[in-house]
């Protein structure tokens, strides 16, 4: 038998209540998503510059998606996600930016 301890063995009361907070955020997401449906999610590098081919392509793709009845969901950061949100917004669609903290992308 494996004697290795897993992090789940070290949960305390504060951690278990944190799970309820996470679940509440999950439920809230399901309540909000019908307002955005149908949608396409786009994620990519935060370091992508506005003059790059990738940025311009993402911007155009987002505009085309909106023109064809879709909304856009992306990260809330710069780069590819900014291009996605900007293209959707300029085309008159809904644009949702989901912000998560990724230390490697926060430069």
Q: How do 39-42 and 95-98 pair as beta strands? A: unpaired
Q: Is residue 56 part of a domain?
A: yes
Rounded Cα–Cα distance for residues 59 and 81 (Å): 9
Domain that holds residue 42: 7-105
The whole-model pTM stands at 0.69
DSSP 64: H
Q: Is residue 1 part of a domain?
A: no
Q: What are the pLDDT tens digits along the chain (107 aa)?
A: 555 554 555 666 677 788 888 888 888 888 888 888 899 999 899 899 999 999 999 999 999 999 999 999 998 889 999 999 999 999 999 998 877 666 665 55
Q: Which two tokens stand for residue 59?
A: 């911007």
CATH, residue 87: 3.40.50.450
Q: Is residue 2 part of a domain?
A: no
Give the per-residue pLDDT at 41: 93
Rounded Cα–Cα distance for residues 107 and 105 (Å): 6
Number of separate domains in the chain: 1
Q: Is residue 89 part of a domain?
A: yes
CA distance readout (Å), 21 to 13, 15, 17, 24, 28? 13, 10, 7, 5, 11
Q: Is residue 31 part of a domain?
A: yes
CA distance readout (Å), 63 to 14, 60, 66, 90? 44, 5, 5, 7
């Amino acid at each position: 038998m494996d004697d290795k301890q897993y992090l789940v063995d070290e949960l305390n009361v504060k951690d278990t209540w944190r799970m309820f907070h996470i679940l509440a955020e999950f439920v809230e997401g399901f309540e909000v998503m019908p307002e955005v449906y149908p949608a396409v999610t786009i994620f990519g590098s935060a370091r992508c510059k506005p003059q790059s081919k990738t940025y311009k392509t993402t911007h155009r793709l987002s505009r085309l998606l909106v023109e064809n009845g879709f909304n856009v969901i992306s990260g809330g950061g710069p780069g590819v996600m900014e291009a996605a949100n900007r293209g959707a917004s300029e085309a008159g669609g809904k644009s949702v930016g989901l912000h998560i903290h990724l230390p490697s992308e926060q430069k």
